[in-house]
A and B are shown apart, each in its own frame.
Chain A
Amino acid sequence: MLRILGKIQRIGVITEPLPPCDEPALVAVGEQLKEKIGARFAGSLAIRAVDAGSCNGCELEIHALNNPWYGIERFGVHFVASPRHADLLLVTGPVARHMEEALRRTWEATPEPKLVIAVGNCGADGGEFGVSYASCGPVGAVIPVDAAIRGCPPTPLELMRGILAAIDQLNGSP
C-alpha cells in the first residue's frame, strides 16, 4: 500500500502543458475547447465514439485522448456509453456494410441537436478501403456528417483540433 501511495506522490500530476506543435499549443486548443464547451454545452460535451468499420488505428488515438498527457476531460469533453447521452458522434470508418444499420440506429438514438464528426481518412472518404461490396465508404454515405478529421490515424492533437473546429462552426446559431 505504501508503495502505491509513494508512487502516486512521486509521479505527481503529469498532465502536460503540451508543447507548441505546428499550431497553437495544445493547452491553447484545450482552453478554447473548454471555453466553447462552456458556452454552448453548459461545460460538458458528451461524445459517443462509434467504430463503423475501422482498422482500430483511429480508436487507439481516440483512446489516447483520455491518457494523462491529454486528459481531455479537463476541458469538459467526456466519452459516454450510450448515444442517448451524446451531443456528438465521433465515427470512424469506412462504414462496413455490416455496420450500416447499426450506425444508422446509433445516429437515430442520439438526441437532437447532434453533431457528427467523421474520423480518419477512411471516415472522411473511404480511405484505403474505398467503396466495395463490403464497404459503404465514407461516414457521410450513411448519416449526415458535420465535419471530418483526416489522418491515418489522426493524432490525439489533431482530434482535439477537429472537435474544436466542429464546435466552432456552431457559433452562428445560439
Chain B
Amino acid sequence: MSAAAVTSFAGLFDRLSAAGIASEDVAAPAGAVRQAVQVVADDWGRLGQAAQAAGCRWVAGWGEERAEGMIRVNACLEQGGAYLLAQTEVNRRHPVLPSHTPYFPAADRPERHTQDLFGVAFSDHPDARRWTRHQAWASAEYPLRHDFPVAGRPPERTPADYRYKFLGAHGSGVYEIPVGPVHAGIIEPGHFRFQAVGETVLHLEERLGYVHKGIEKIAEGRDAIALARLAGRVSGDSTVAHAWAACMAMEAAAGITPPPRAIWLRALLCERERVANHLGDIGAIVNDVGFAFGFYQFGRLRETWQRSSYAAFGHRFMMDAIVPGGVARDLAPERIEPMRAEVAELRRQVGKLMAIIYDSPSLTNRLLTTGVLTAEAARALGCMGYVGRASSLDFDVRRQVPYPPYDSLPVEHVLHNTGDVNARVRVRHDEIMASLNLIEALLARLPTGAIQTAWIAPAAESAGIGSIEGWRGEILTHVRFGTDGRIARFFPRDPSWTTWPALEVLIDNNIVPDFPVCNKSVNGSYSGQDL
C-alpha cells in the first residue's frame, strides 16, 4: 500500500474502526488501485456511510461471480488521487446487501445494473426499479452469472418495455413529453420523459439501456487481443481511451510494460481523440441554438483532423491502434513535421473561431446561465471530465493520478466554475488548446524504439485495473483473467455513468427548447453506459 493511499483514506479507516467495522486488507488488482479491503456484507452500507463522511468519491461499482456460489461486489473509491477498492461477498442463494446509494447518489444506477445482471438485491436502495434490464431476459434471470448462457433464452420477439414505471406528475397545466428511444437526429437511442409546465421543465427522467448489447458477457472467454478490440467498441467516440484503459488493466495483470514509444504514441492517439470530439461538440452545441456558422466551421476542422488521423494511423477514429503490449501502428518520421504544422494551424483557427463565438451575444445569451450544474450536485453525482471541470471539480486522471507518459508532461489545469452550458464550452475550448500543447510536447520528445512488447498471458485469477483520462473524463476498467489467458471478467466504467444523472439535474427549470443544447453540452455516451 502506498503512502498516498494511507494518507488519502486515513479518515475512512478512522471512521471504520470507530464504528467497529473490521476491514481486512486483501490482494488488490494490479495497476491503478493501490489497496483493496474487504468487509462483511452486513457492514457494506456502513462502509459507504463512512466513505461519504470521510469525503471520498464513489468512482465505480461492479459485481463478479466467485467460487463456491459467492458473488463479490466491488466499489472503487477515490481520495486525493488514490484509488481504494472495497469488496464484499454475498451468497448467490441469498444475495442481499445494504446499498451505497443513500450516501452516494453516484452509486444509484451502477447498483441497479448489478441488481439486474447479478441478482444482488440492495436492501435499502431508494429506487430498486430495474435499470439495464428491459424485456430481453426475465426478472429472475441474471445474465452475468456463470450459469446463464451467452445466447440467453430471449423471447422470439422482444417486446417494448412499456410497463416501466416513470415518476408521474399531476396538476393543472402539467403535461408530459415522451421522447425516444428513436430520436429525431442522428444520435444514439434512449428515452427521455419530461414533465413540463408551459415551456419550463419540472422534471426529467431518463430511461437508458436500449443499446445494452451484453458487452460484459461477450467479453468472457476472449483473449487479450479480442478484448482490446471489444473495448474499442464500448463507445465508438472513445475507442482510443477505452482500448487504452482495457490494455492498461490487462498489462498490469500480466506484469507487462509496453515500450516507452508505445506509451507515448498512446497518449498522442488519446489527445487526438480528445481534440476531434471537442471540435465536433463545440460545433454541435452552438448548432443546437441555431448558430449554423459554428457548426460548419467546427465540422470542417473536425473532418480535416480526422483525415489526418487516417493518414497517420490508418483509421479516422484510430480504432484498434492500441493493442495489448503496445500499439499496432507506428508514426512514420515523415508525419511528424506535418502534424506539428497541423497543430499550429488548428490552434490559430480555433482561436479565431472561439473569439467569434464569445463575441456573438445572440449565441452566448443562450449558453450563459443555461443548464447550470452546481458544484455540490456535480460532487454528489461523482462527475468528472468536462462536466465536472465546468462545475469547479478539479479532477483529471492525468494530473491527479498521473500515468505514463503524463507523469513527465505538463498537463494544463483547466477549470471553470459557473457550471452552465457556456462553461462546458469553455472547458472544451481550453482542453483543445491544452491537448494541442501536449501533442507538440509528445512529438518533441517521442522516444525511439519498439512499439510493442510480446503479450504473455498471465496466470488465472490475475486481475488489473486501468484508469485513463478519456475525452469525457475518467475511464476505470477492471479485467480479471481466467485460465488459458482468457478473460473471466471485464467491466469498463465510462464517465457517462456519472454525467447522465447530471443531465437530469441541470435541466430542471430550464425551458424544453433548451434541452438539446443542455444534452449536447453533457454529451453522455449511451453505448458506454448501456454496455
Contacts and interface: CB of A to CB of B under 8 A. Distances in A.
Interface of A: 3-4, 7-8, 11, 14, 49-64, 66-69, 79, 81-83, 94, 96-106, 128-136, 152-153, 155
Given A68-B296, A97-B136, A60 B237 contact: yes
Contact of A96 (B211, B218, B293, B297): B211
B236 A100 contact: no
B189 A58 contact: no
A129 B218 contact: yes
Contact of A101 (B154, B157, B299, B526): B157
A119 B273 CA distance: 23
Interface in B232-255: 233-237, 239
Interface residues of B, number: 64
A169 to B, nearest CB: 24
Given A3-B356, A59-B236, A64-B306, 11 more contacts: A7-B352, A50-B182, A53-B213, A55-B239, A63-B280, A98-B158, A102-B189, A128-B229, A134-B143, A134-B213, A153-B236
B214 interface: yes
A131 B211 contact: no
A118 B267 CA distance: 34
A4 B149 contact: no
A98 B152 contact: no
A64 B136 contact: no
Which DSSP category, helix, strand, loop or mixed, fits chain B's interface? loop
Contacts of B237: 56-57, 60
Contacts of B160: 101-102, 105
Nearest to A142: B157
6 pairs of A and B residues whose beta carbons are closest in the complex: A133-B152, A57-B236, A134-B214, A97-B136, A81-B184, A67-B299
B188 A54 contact: yes
Interface in B283-311: 293, 296-297, 299-300, 302-303, 306
Which of A57, A61, A79 has the most chain B CB atoms closer than 10 A to its own CB?
A57
A134 B283 CA distance: 34
Contacts of B356: 3-4, 7
B136 A98 contact: yes
Contacts, number: 166
Interface of B: 134-137, 143, 148-154, 157-161, 181-182, 184-189, 209-215, 217-218, 229-230, 233-237, 239, 280, 293, 296-297, 299-300, 302-303, 306, 316-317, 319, 352-353, 355-356, 359-360, 525-527, 530
A59 B217 CA distance: 24
Contact of A7 (B161, B213, B214, B353): B353
B186 A130 contact: no
30 contacts: A3-B356, A7-B293, A7-B352, A11-B300, A52-B189, A54-B188, A55-B236, A55-B527, A56-B188, A56-B236, A57-B319, A60-B317, A67-B296, A67-B302, A67-B303, A68-B303, A79-B186, A81-B185, A97-B154, A98-B136, A100-B157, A100-B158, A102-B189, A102-B210, A104-B157, A129-B218, A129-B233, A133-B137, A133-B153, A134-B143
A63 B316 CA distance: 14
A102 B143 CA distance: 22
B213 A135 contact: yes
Given A67-B299, A129-B214, A4 B189 contact: no
A58 B136 contact: no
A78 B310 CA distance: 26
Contact of B154 (A55, A102, A133): A133
A128 B233 contact: yes
